[in-house]
Amino acid sequence: MSEAVDLGLEAEDSLENTNEFARAGSEQDSFKGEIPSAYDMDLDSINPVWNRLFQENKSLEYFRRLRAEDPVHFNETETAGRFWSLTRYEDIKAVDMDHHNFSSAHGITLGFPIDRPLPEGALDISLFIAMDPPKHDVQRKTVAPVVSARNMQALEPLIRERTGNVLDSLPVGETFNWVDRVSIELTTQMLATLFDFPFEERRKLTRWSDVATAAPGSGIIDSEEQRRSELFEMLSYFNNIWEQRKAEPTGDFVSMLAHGEDTKDMQPLEFMGNLILLIVGGNDTTRNSMSAG
């Protein structure tokens, strides 16, 4: 089953003006006061996806209470939609290993019910993180050698050199943007290497990652139409790389997909979905970790 690129607020008007499809956190973000202690709230009202909990470093107490009192927590008050929140390791492990009862094939994001049509303008694409075995396993294993322990060990001297160069280039005695100068730059350099992407154009990868995950009106994109346009530009760019790698593989992500027995004939939107997965996974999550976010 496929995964929508965006589940944003523009869906409201097209689906009976419901706010059920707003992004996580919007409901409790209307609360401007100090975040209360988790133990001062009704258990049923705890919303584990309220983004202020993470912005203000208050999430651990909430998860601690959920683990102790309601480890399989049902949430139906949030505008992201009704969902279950699991907070104990063994429960999470049990669900993760049982794709027959807990499938990823209907989507892996909060905010859009699986029994409704996609919002107008959302791209309906496939990506292997939103698949179940065996297809998930086959596609994941196709690209896994690029980030194997052996390959990472071989790249370690280059990673260390680049890290040193970036840190040495930072200004002394003045304020600077750590996210842009360090977190984004280091992760984008590494991502360009794993894709064998033109190094001087590496910030295209950053832009495409931001476009794929941003909400319209966030300052990154203005509309779903802009998202579609930029992601199809990405696909066109990588289609050219695909053709190059078919002729001359280099051991990068695209080479693996272009020559994998189960991926070499994938459809364009499936290729787009896996590009988004690899770019966002290699860029967004890593740079957030490096920024303590």
142-186 tens-digit pLDDT? 777 888 888 889 999 999 999 999 999 999 999 999 999 999 999
State the pLDDT at residue 115: 59
Identify the CATH class of 139-290. mainly alpha
Closest CA relative to residue 214, chosen from 203, 230, 194: 230
Show me where the domains of the chain are located: 3-122, 139-290
pLDDT band with cut points at 50, 70 and 90 for residue 249: very high
State the pLDDT at residue 15: 33
Query: Distance between CA atoms of 147 and 194, rounded to whole angstroms?
Result: 8
User: Quick one: angle between helices 268-290 and 135-143, nearest 10?
Assistant: 60
Q: Tell how strand 124-125 and strand 3-4 pair up.
A: antiparallel
Query: Distance between CA atoms of 272 and 266, rounded to whole angstroms?
Result: 10
For residue 107, is pLDDT > 60?
Answer: yes
For residue 59, is pLDDT > 80?
Answer: yes
State the pLDDT at residue 235: 93
For residue 119, is pLDDT > 80?
Answer: no
173-220 tens-digit pLDDT? 999 999 999 999 999 999 999 999 999 999 999 999 999 888 788 899
Query: Distance between CA atoms of 45 and 65, rounded to whole angstroms?
Result: 12
pLDDT band with cut points at 50, 70 and 90 for residue 27: low
Lowest mean pLDDT among 29-43, 103-117, 211-225: 103-117
Query: Distance between CA atoms of 107 and 130, rounded to whole angstroms?
Result: 6
